Structure formats: C-alpha cells, structure tokens
Amino acid sequence: MGCGCCVDEVIYEDGKAVDYRILDANPAYERIVGISRDRAVGALGSEVYGDGLPSFFNLLTKVAETGEPASFERYFAPIEKHLQFTVNRPGDGRFSTVFTDITDRVHAQEELAEASRRLREAVRAGNVGLWDWNLATNRVQYSPEWKRQIGYDEHEITDSFEEWQSRVHPEDLAPTLARVHRAIAEGSAEYFTEFRFRHKDGSYRYILSQSSVFCGEAGRPSRVLGSHIDITEHKRAEEALNRQRAELQAIYDHAPVMMSVLDPDRRVLYANRAFTEFTGVSEDELTTGRACGVFGCINAQADPRGCGFGPVCERCELRRALDDTLRTGLGHRNVEDRATLERQGNRWDVVLLGATAAIQTDGQSNVLLCLEDRTEQEQAEQRARQRELELLHVARLSTLGEMASGLAHELSQPLSAIVNYSTACAQLGAVDRPDLQRIMKNIHKITEQAERARDIMVRIRELAQRRRPRLTSVDVNRVVANVLDLLSWQIRQKGIDLNPDLDDRLPAARADAIQVEQVLVNLTRNAIEAMEQTPPRRRLTIRTSPGDAGAVRIEVSDTGVGIPRDEPDRIFDAFFTTKADGLGIGLSISRTIVEMHEGILQADRNAEGGSTFVVVLPQVPRQDATEGRDEDW
C-alpha cells in the first residue's frame, strides 16, 4: 500500500515554534491524508488541515530541534484516522514524517478488546471456570472463576494437574479420565464430560466440562483448553423432576381410579392398570378405541364409528364434559355416567363418576379422563336407604302400637255415636207418624261420625303402610292438625292445655307428608310423656312460622322435665334414652328423617322449664310449587 512521507520546516516567531510549512510530500501522502500534493506543498500545516496545529506539534518540533528520532501512534482528528508515525530530522529546523494508516487495525483491536471484555463479563456472570492444560509440562492454568467456583481464592490452588484430579469424586474419576485420555489419543477437537467435583466445604458439585484438544506442529496433541460449568442446581432440579415423574407414574399405574389420556378425537393414548382391568383388555388394544367405546358401552356399539356417534351419545354427560374440556381447556368433576355395557353377550348396568382435565402431551392438547366405578357403592347406598326406610316403617308401626289404646278410644267415640244415632233413628221410625226431619238429622250425624272414623283409619293406614317416600308440596299446618287429631285423646287424658299457634302465611314445605307426620307424632308424644311427672297446668304449644330464607319452622314446646343439661345433643344419639322403658331410637330416627329432607332438628331447654324442639324444613322452590312437581326420593 506504501507509506505517506512529507518533509516539514518549523516556523518560529520570537524564538518560539508556532507552526510548520510543508516542503514536500509523496503520492501516498495524497491517498492517506486526502489532500493533493499541489495544495499541501508550501502551505502551513495549520492551514492545510483546517484544524489548527496537531496535539503532537511539540513532539515534532522537538525532533527538528534535537535530532532525536521519535515513533508513536496517534489519532489525527483533521482526517479522522489513526496513524503510525516515524519522525526524523533531515536538517536543522526540519523534520520528516513517515506514516501509515492503522485505522482498521485500531478498530479491530478495539473490537477485540470489547469482545474480550464481554467474554470476561460473561464468564464471570455465568460462573464459568476456564483452564488451560499444557500436555508437555502437565501444568494447568486455572482461571480465578474456576477457583472461586469451588470456594477457593486465587492463591490457594497451584497450577498442578493434581489439583483437578484429586477433587473429582472417586466414583467418577476413572470414567472421566478414560474419556479425557481417549479424546487426547484421538485428537478430538471437542469433547464433554460430566462429573462430581469436591468443593472447599467438602460438598460435591456437579460439573459439566467442555474441552478442546489442540495439536502442535507435528500434529500431536499439545494442549487442552476447557471450561467448567456448575450444573448442581440444574442437576438437583432434574433429579427432583425425575422423582416427581416416578411418583406420578407410580400413582398413575397403581391408583384404584381409572385413568387414561385421550387425543382430540377421544381416542385412547395411554391407560393405567385400573383402566385395563376394568375393560378386560390390554393397553395396546385400548389405544385402538374411543373413550367409553372400549368399555363396551352399547351406545358406542350402535355406530361403526364408536363412542360419541351413537343415537343417544349426544345426551351422554361424559361425552359433553370431554368435548368441553377439549374445546375450552376447562376441567370437569363429578360427572355421572350411567351406562349399559355388553361384553361376550352379557349386559349389565354401571354407574361411573368421571373427571376431565386438559393436558399437553408432546405439544398436543389432550384430555386426562379419570373414572371411578361407583356401581357397587351405589347399590350399597340403595340397600342402606332401603334398610333405613324399613327402619322408619318399623318405627311408625311401633309408634302406632304404643298409641293403640288412645287410637281405640278415638275410634270408640265416633262408633259409639253412630250406634246411638242409629238406635234413635230406629226408635223414631217405629212410630206411626215418624219425625222424618229428626231422622234425617240423626242420619247426617251418623255420616259425620263415620267420616271421622274413616279419617282416623286413613291416617293410621298411611302411617302403617310401606311406601316409597315422595317429596311434594306439603301444607305443614294441615299435618300438625292431623297429628293433634290423632293424639287428642292422650292430650285430654293427661290434662294438658293445648296451645296451637299456626301461621296462616306459612309457605309450603318440600317434604314427604307421612314422614313429617311421623316426626311430629314422635315429638308431640315425647312432650306429653315429659309432662307426666310435672304438676298440673301442663301446657303443650305447637307453633309454625316462616323461617330464614323462606324455610318452614315448627316448634314443639312443653313444660315437662326438660332435656339433660350436660351434652344436650346426646338425646339424638341412637339408643340414648332417659325413659326406663324407652328404646332410644325415636329422636334419632326423627333427626334422620329431617336431615334426609335437608332440614334441621334441634332442642333447647326452656328458661321457665321444659323443652322446645325446633324443626326447620326447606321451602318448595317457586317453580316446583307452581308446577306441582313431585319427586321420588
């Protein structure tokens, strides 16, 4: 490329160097400086460069005055270039400069320095330890980061290879050295190793080492450079994740709940052991079918395409839940599916309780389906409900048996009246001119008494019959009136003042009328018996009123001996009784009935003596009341 050259003469004023004049310049001068030779020669330096004298003017004049050569590099602002100068004195008061353009080199050095700085920062920030192993001397240079990585200061570790080897975990040393020696023998450009490395505190850190083998002039390995990266936290996180995966896999494989993963087409991708045991086929066979079709659901078998395409599949709650989860990503719980299954010609009904959840598997949106076979549990619950209903029926029969004398007396009154009115009619009809008006009046009385006897028998029959409970709209005031009618003889016989306080604004209750009557008969009879040992002025109050949130409230209050002060709620325990001849099941059954109605039965002691039992029943929903809807229990 050539060097620029020029000869200059220093200009003095009053013995002081103030400028210089360019005497000559070569062609390379024009190329580097960008100023023509014709313009430069004879001109003052301060004029040619248009920026005054250069900052190194004193250095140039010193060479001209002393004859001592100088070499230096400077940024020459007027031409915005980095130049390398060699200055000599060709004669008194003169200096010659030979210069080259080093701008590209300076920029490259600056970029290299910046890259080096960034690398150092990255190494420091990334906690990367560097090392340089000279194979000829077996000495290793360890970077400060390498030493700090394992807890040591700069001066605490020498450049011996043993510093590294002695810290590798004994179980990892042999395979790690074998990998290193194999890489050196093969002249591998790059290799990786992973091992445990002892920290200053005695603990072991997991290290990932990336190394490169360099060969000398003879082609033989002479040097190995590498890095240490502490991957302990990553390793621990990975181990924790593997443990969690193993735990989840164990749960998945051994859970009693059926689990399967379905694709967007509801085809089985995976299934656990419980799932395969329920279906009776292997997991490989399951993956060819859709959802409930693999169970043998008769609806899925009704269409060649399988589950979800049968004529009634659109009404399947489980299919709806699966489709919604696949569409929205929202999970569902407690989805009940009642299905009929068919396998090898046999059919049976099942009750499945399902749950769905959206999951990602290999980047695909799938759904986790969990199923619990509740068939046996529901059958057991049905048997338990049936036994409970039988117990309630037995309790009603027992109550009727205990009320037999009172009921007989209640029946004897209308029957005796019928006999008397019939006798009177016979006598009135035996005369020549019978009084037809009186006879008709007596016949009307006979009809009234017969209807009264019939009503008593109807209520007895309703209490005695075995029937399936039905939730209907019940007029509680009417039920209370029926109870008081049944027990009226006992109330009169015991000399009890009856105080019915029935609210005409009472809403209808959602209940089974016979079971509510059973509860009120039991509470009223308990109140009557509780007042047997108390002095006269016995009082029985039955009050109805609207409760909170539209509920129906019934209170049965007496002036008897009261409930026990300690543990008052024990009176509702089965077989707990304060009566010498009591079984202790009446109140327990009563609370069971009320709770079956989603109601409340509780008891309190009255301040003035006696007890008050409170029954709260739910109100009939407006829509049900309007439509007169009945519901099987």
CATH numbers and ranges of domains, the chain? 4-107 (3.30.450.20), 127-235 (3.30.450.20), 255-373 (3.30.450.20), 379-467 (no CATH), 469-633 (3.30.565.10)
Q: What percent of the chain has pLDDT over 70?
A: 81
pLDDT in tens, 36-74: 999 999 999 888 887 667 778 889 999 999 999 999 998
DSSP state of 194: E
Per-residue model confidence (pLDDT) at position 628: 44
E strand or H helix that includes residue 5: strand 4-13
pLDDT value at residue 625: 46
pLDDT at 292: 64
Give start and end residues of each alpha helix (H) in 564-621: 586-596
In the prediction, which pLDDT does 88 show?
A: 95
The pLDDT assigned to 627 comes to: 44
Confidence of residue 193 (pLDDT cuts 50, 70, 90): very high
Given a cut of 50, whether residue 260 has pLDDT beyond it is: yes
Higher pLDDT, 392 or 11: 11
* Mean pLDDT across 75-84: 87
Q: Which of 101-110, 148-157, 287-296, 317-326 has the lowest mean pLDDT?
A: 287-296
Cα–Cα distances (Å) from 400 to 33, 397, 477, 521, 540, in that order, read: 128, 5, 22, 10, 21
503 in Cβ contact with 546 (< 8 Å): yes
Lowest-pLDDT range, 31-35, 50-54, 95-99, 395-399?
395-399
What is the C-alpha separation between 313 and 377, in angstroms, rounded?
25
* pLDDT per position as a tens digit, 83-121: 999 999 999 899 999 999 999 998 888 888 777 677 666
Angle, alpha carbons 546-549-551 (nearest 5°): 45
25 vs 112, residue with greater confidence: 25
Distance between CA 545 and CA 523 in Å, rounded?
17
Report pLDDT for 423: 80
Residues 489-505 have a mean pLDDT of 88
Given pLDDT bands bounded at 50, 70 and 90, which one contains residue 573?
A: low
Mean pLDDT of all residues in 162-171: 95
Percent over 90 (pLDDT), the chain: 26
What local confidence, expressed as pLDDT, does residue 332 receive? 92
pLDDT at 69: 95
Note every long-range contact of 85-94, with CB atoms under 8 Å and residues 24 or more positions apart, other chains counting.
85/56, 87/59, 87/60, 87/63, 88/63, 89/63, 89/64, 90/7, 92/64, 93/9, 93/10, 93/12, 93/64, 93/65, 94/7, 94/8, 94/9, 94/10, 94/23, 94/64
Report the pLDDT value the prediction gives residue 291, as an integer from 0 to 100. Answer: 63
Most confident of the following: 103-107, 167-171, 537-541, 585-589: 167-171
Structure-model confidence comparison of residues 460 and 475, the more confident one: 475
Top pLDDT among 198 and 514 is at 198
pLDDT at position 112 is 80
SS3 229: strand
Query: What are the beta bridge partners of residue 311?
Result: none
pLDDT at 134: 93
pTM, to two decimals:
0.44
Instruction: Report the Cα–Cα distance between both ends of the chain, in Å, rounded.
Output: 106
pLDDT at 123 over 70: no
Sign of the CA dihedral 563, 567, 569, 571?
A: negative
- 541 Cβ contact list (under 8 Å, min separation 6): 499, 500, 501, 555, 556, 557, 558
